[in-house]
Amino acid sequence: MPLLDALRALTSFNPPPALPTCDPALLGDVLEAHGLAPMASYQLEHGRLGGTAPEALRERLLTSYQGVVNDNFQKLVSLRTLLRDLEGLTVVFLEAAAYVDWLYPHIAFRPVGEPRLAVSADAGARFVEGLAGVSVLRTEHGGRTAVLTDGKLTFTMQEGLWPGGPADGPLFERAQPYRVFGPSARRPSAEDALLGTVGEQALLGLHAPLVTFMDLRELLALPLDLGYVRARAEALGLSRALHGATLLAAHFFPESADAAARLRPALGFAERIAVERVVEAARDPARLRHVRGADQAARLVVAP
């Protein structure tokens, strides 16, 4: 598929010398829709790929690159300022807020979006009280999620791996120090990060932005305790989602196929058929709109 070949080239840390031929307008649409435009722009502006790309595409993507660099920098600096003096708590950075400085070699490769932080249920009030000028905008999911702001930065505090997910002791017990953001800051273990990414994808019925599968690609490349991941996935109700997400990761990024296959949990026949139907509907990154109800039906199959 020409589009997928171009996407793979633009999201590789070692891109080929030439951009595979495809419709540049469609490529630009898909890169922007899936959160990949800033990384693609970097590859075009700093590598040999740029010499084979249409000028209009390069100019279009450069706007996304500049915006994400500035946005990511401001959000990460704001988080560091908020958390640098916070002590005595465990605050786990999740998803992009953890990945941009861990999995990716450049700040523009992974848009941060709205940062998400995990704080245990019994420490939530102390966390808010310990942050100068921060207030609660609203709570969601029966109080398990809170959206906070200091007037400049808006971020989410939650108890588990995904918004509304159950309180998750192992997430906090296995988290690693993330000292650049202060003494309380942590990032998840690779295994819990992978499960958190799959949980987010599951809530979208696996019709998730391709940038999340790029996250999955990088996490699959790390040393993982496969038994732990599969056991935790089963306990969290994520086995079907993990099965489907690893199939999609292997489809989008073939270099991940072996690692994805080793991790993929076995499912019963009926479960596997249902998940594979969801996967088939999510395989085309150019399908930016879906039949009404399709996402909801997919969530019924894979969401925890």
pLDDT at 291 exceeding the cut of 70: no
Which positions ≥6 away from 231 have C-beta within 8 Å? Answer: none
Pairing of the two strands 116-118 and 135-140: unpaired
Tell me: the pLDDT tens digits for 253-272? 999 999 999 999 999 999 99
Please compute the mean of the pLDDT values over residues 243-253 and round it to a whole number. 98
Return the pLDDT at 21: 93
CA atoms within 13 A on the CB side of 212: 24
* pLDDT tens-digit readout, 73-84: 999 999 999 999
pTM of the model: 0.95
Assess contact for 150 and 134: CB atoms under 8 A.
yes
What pLDDT is attached to residue 49? 86
Domain ranges of the chain: 83-188, 189-304
Burial class (CB in 10 A: 0-12, 13-18, 19+), 266: exposed
Per-residue model confidence (pLDDT) at position 290: 61
What does the pLDDT read at residue 293?
Answer: 65
pLDDT tens readout for residues 88-103: 999 999 999 999 999 9
- Rounded distance, CA 119 to CA 176, Å? 14
Tell me the C-alpha distance between 71 and 153, whole Å.
Answer: 10
Specify the pLDDT at position 296.
Answer: 87
Contacts of 227 (CB under 8 A, 6+ apart): none
CA dist., res. 68 & res. 8, Å (int): 20
Confidence category of residue 292, pLDDT binned at 50, 70, 90:
low
Average pLDDT value for the chain:
95
Domain topology for 83-188: Beta Polymerase; domain 2 (3.30.460)
Least confident window among 48-57, 89-98, 104-113: 48-57
Whether residue 289 has pLDDT greater than 80 = no
- Distance from C-alpha of 30 to C-alpha of 72, rounded to nearest angstrom: 21
Residue owning tokens 């633009």:
10
By CB neighbour count within 10 A (0-12 exposed, 13-18 middle, 19+ buried), where does 260 fall?
Answer: buried
The DSSP letter of residue 293 is T
Convert the pLDDT of each residue in 131-163 to its tens digit.
989 999 999 999 999 999 999 999 999 999 999
The pLDDT of 227-252, averaged and rounded, is 98
* pLDDT score for 287: 85
Q: Does residue 1 or residue 93 have the better pLDDT?
A: 93
Given this model, what pLDDT does residue 47 score? 85
Tell the residue number behind the tokens 């879906």, with chain if given.
290
What's the pLDDT at 268? 97
Token digits of residue 77: 């600096």
